[in-house]
């Protein structure tokens, strides 16, 4: 069993190094994979679709982005005809975001190509390993959500 502190530190260093390496390549890789729908827009659109309508503020909170960033991203998506903004009848400050038909389609095709890229890349992994990796990533990201990481000290 890995019980020595040294092994623990070694694992931490590997995790740090490999996550850094991944982060560095991720954007370039995503850009090459989908020149049509940039990484960030894709992510936001996916979230909007997932929630079947949400507010810009939700997106900003979830992705730890400034509201101005989200505003511009949404503007771009709207200009591309991929999302629609509907004012909330109960609260006129709020814009409820929905994917358009084109947005849903763009998302589906992007997800399909991403999916197949991941499938290919992880083709020789066992189902157990995939499940384990997925669980670790979930745990890792969840830790980030709750901890001190925030761009503008918004957390109350």
Which residue number, 109 or 125, has a Cβ lying nearer to its own copies?
Answer: 125
Should residue 38 be labelled a site residue for DNA when binding is judged by CB under 7 A?
Answer: yes
- Burial of residue 82 (number of CB atoms within 10 Å: 0-12, 13-18, 19+): buried
Should residue 36 be labelled a site residue for DNA when binding is judged by CB under 7 A?
Answer: no
* Beta carbons within 10 angstroms of residue 71's beta carbon: 15
CA angle 52, 58, 64 (to 5 degrees): 130
Terminal Cα-to-Cα distance of the chain (whole angstroms) = 41
Binding segment toward DNA, per CB under 7 A, in 45-53, 84-92, 108-116, 123-131: 84-92
- The residue within the footprint of DNA, chosen from 49, 73, 82, 99 (CB under 7 A), is 73
Distances, alpha carbon 155 to alpha carbons 15, 64, 94, 149, in Å? 27, 10, 20, 10
Question: Which of 39, 9, 10 is CA-nearest to residue 23?
Answer: 39
Should residue 46 be labelled a site residue for DNA when binding is judged by CB under 7 A?
Answer: no
Binding segment toward its own copies, per CB under 8 A, in 53-61, 80-88, 92-100, 121-129: 121-129
**Partner in contact with 90, chosen from its own copies, DNA, none, beta carbon below 5 to 8 Å by kind:** DNA
Helix residue ranges per DSSP H, the chain? 5-33, 39-51, 56-63, 67-79, 101-121, 127-146
Using CB under 8 A, count the residues that bind its own copies: 63
Distance CA 56, CA 75 (A): 11
In the structure encoding, which two tokens stand for residue 80, read together? 């591309």
Binding segment toward DNA, per CB under 7 A, in 6-14, 73-81, 121-129, 134-142: 73-81
- Binding residues for its own copies, rule: CB under 8 A, are 1-3, 7-8, 10-30, 32, 39-40, 43, 63-65, 114-115, 118-122, 125, 127-134, 136-141, 143-144, 147-149, 151, 155-156
Residues that bind DNA (CB under 7 A): 24, 27-28, 38-41, 55-57, 64-76, 85, 90-95, 151-152
């Amino acid at each position: 069993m890995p019980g020595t502190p040294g092994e623990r530190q070694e694992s931490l260093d590997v995790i740090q190094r490999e996550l850094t390496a991944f982060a560095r390549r991720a954007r370039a890789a995503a850009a090459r994979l989908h020149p049509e729908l940039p990484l960030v827009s894709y992510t936001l659109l996916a979230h909007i679709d997932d929630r079947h309508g949400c507010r810009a503020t939700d997106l900003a909170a979830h992705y730890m982005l400034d509201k101005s960033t989200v505003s511009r991203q949404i503007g771009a998506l709207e200009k591309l005809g991929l999302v629609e903004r509907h004012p909330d009848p109960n609260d006129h400050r709020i814009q409820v975001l929905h994917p358009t038909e084109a947005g849903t389609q763009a998302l589906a095709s992007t997800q399909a190509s991403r999916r197949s890229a991941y499938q290919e890349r992880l083709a020789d992994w066992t189902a157990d390993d995939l499940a384990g990796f997925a669980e670790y990533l979930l745990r890792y990201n969840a830790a980030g959500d709750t901890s001190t990481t925030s761009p503008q000290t918004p957390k109350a």
